[in-house]
Chain A
């Protein structure tokens, strides 16, 4: 797995070596046609379920349009965007979303790395047990996990206040504690994903380097910092990128635990509330487009700024 950027037009490295190249142009033409025939439907469906909706959302965002008053549909250019960007609700939701993203991803990276280390070193006997356990949060429905944490911190049913001796502290009645529980449920649910990626990264760190560093008298921490982490940079960056984008779209836990109350609304939740609950299609569409643009921006920052090369990290080896 290399981290250098690939030249864009090079033939992929891992081709089946069956067809001698060059001589058989008819065959190449045939492969091209067959390739698109086979991959075309999947490609078309992917465009249909994403490109089409986002264009439609953009179009609808230019109208002042409410389903509660469907006859008054008026083209108002970018006034919905102006309204949103001029409203503190949007900026508050953005701040909440970024806060959740940064906190959960940071904690998950540390925790996920620790989990991966344990799994990497775990004795053969316990490894399947650990692997199974770690997959359970990954596979459980987010809504179920959110309910579980919500009930745990709930004043009327939860054991947390009893265990911690906090008496009647209402976790969901205050912004910071509510956000803390939301982050906790998100961290529990998605850390396994990071640790599985990091575990795969750990497996690719050459054992020889570790041994050599050991012989040279490097401490455990030095080896971690100078050998292990640099050698799995690609895996770390991919995990970070995917989790950051995923966390930014947070919705389920917030819906279940607070319904956006007490300043815990994320940008996705705001867009949902405006469109589906309040039936304000124009404003809601503009919000959806803004959420999309934020996600694109985060991806671009990662790929350009941190030089995450997805082609080499995720694509061709």
Chain B
């Protein structure tokens, strides 16, 4: 590679990094603006302060934000756990066993993945009110499975196909019981795939908005994205900008941490699941 080309590609990389981080930097900057500076239309805060963070953790917005954060974490973790467990069994069967219906399961996952959430929300709204699931955790966990299960099945099936299953038998020949062989040989090989799938699933559940605003009504189950949309200022003349941006930064931090720690795996999981299946 010539020197000129090298410089060009580095420039390209810098442009990408700025492009990707720009809105994040902007919301971070807003969150550090003091109440009076929020409308000064500057990119950077003049008098940086922690006021907005105080507002959501111990101030007026506390009762809106903290329950929402708890709901989001609880609901998303449970939905992720359930879909990864279900997908693990399904993906094992798809990768390891020969049975008719494999393609049916994969195609169903594909259809579910393209299903518009709004077409699920309308009937559930009515049904959940009838059977008491409206505004409850299970009332969100169940529809979240329509978001997390398909991608979990595809991603895990892709990972499991790469596992050299013959090694299990080799271990058995060497005297291990089948459970030992499975646990000692297959589980360590499968663990990274399962972990990656869980992260991707979690991102997707964490991102949901439409179920969150449609199937909840109080802090009993309303997740963060929905709560953000319903934030109100301390008075009706005050824009809740500070609280919204601080809350936005707080829910973005775990996502950014996961991305930084596991970027290589996430990319592998996403592209394997999507392109190789």
Contacts and interface: CB of A to CB of B under 8 A. Distances in A.
A281 interface: yes
Contacts of A170: none
Contacts of A314: 110, 154, 274-277
5 contacts: A12-B102, A123-B9, A134-B16, A313-B277, A317-B277
Given A141-B209, A242-B114, 12 more contacts: A35-B99, A123-B13, A128-B264, A129-B13, A131-B263, A132-B263, A135-B263, A139-B256, A144-B248, A238-B274, A268-B116, A276-B125
Interface string A145-161: 10111011000111101
Contact of B149 (A15, A46, A115, A128): A46
B209 to A, nearest CB: 4
Interface in A17-62: 17-19, 21, 28, 31-32, 34-36, 38-39, 41-43, 45-47, 49-50, 53-54, 56-57, 60
* Most chain A CB within a 10 A radius of its CB, from B108, B121, B252: B121
Interface in A214-273: 234-235, 238, 242, 245, 248-249, 251-252, 255-256, 268, 271-272
Main secondary structure of the interface of A (DSSP, over half): helix
Contact of A315 (B103, B116, B267, B271): B103
Given A38-B92, A45-B145, A144-B27, A131 B267 contact: yes
* Chain B CB within 10 A, most for which of A18, A19, A163, A299: A18
Interface of A: 1, 8, 11-12, 14-19, 21, 28, 31-32, 34-36, 38-39, 41-43, 45-47, 49-50, 53-54, 56-57, 60, 67, 115, 118-119, 121-123, 126, 128-145, 147-149, 151-152, 156-159, 161-163, 188, 192-193, 196-197, 199-201, 234-235, 238, 242, 245, 248-249, 251-252, 255-256, 268, 271-272, 275-276, 281, 284-285, 287-289, 291-292, 295, 299, 310-311, 313-317
Of A28, A47, A126, A193, the most chain B CB neighbours within 10 A belong to: A126
Interface string B161-185: 1000110010000000000000000
A235 B277 CA distance: 12
Contacts of B145: 45-46, 49
Which of B124, B145, B213, B263 has the most chain A CB atoms closer than 10 A to its own CB? B263
Nearest to A47: B108
B27 A148 contact: yes
Contacts of A151: 26-27, 30, 241, 245
Contacts of A288: 116, 118-119, 121-123
A287 B252 CA distance: 33
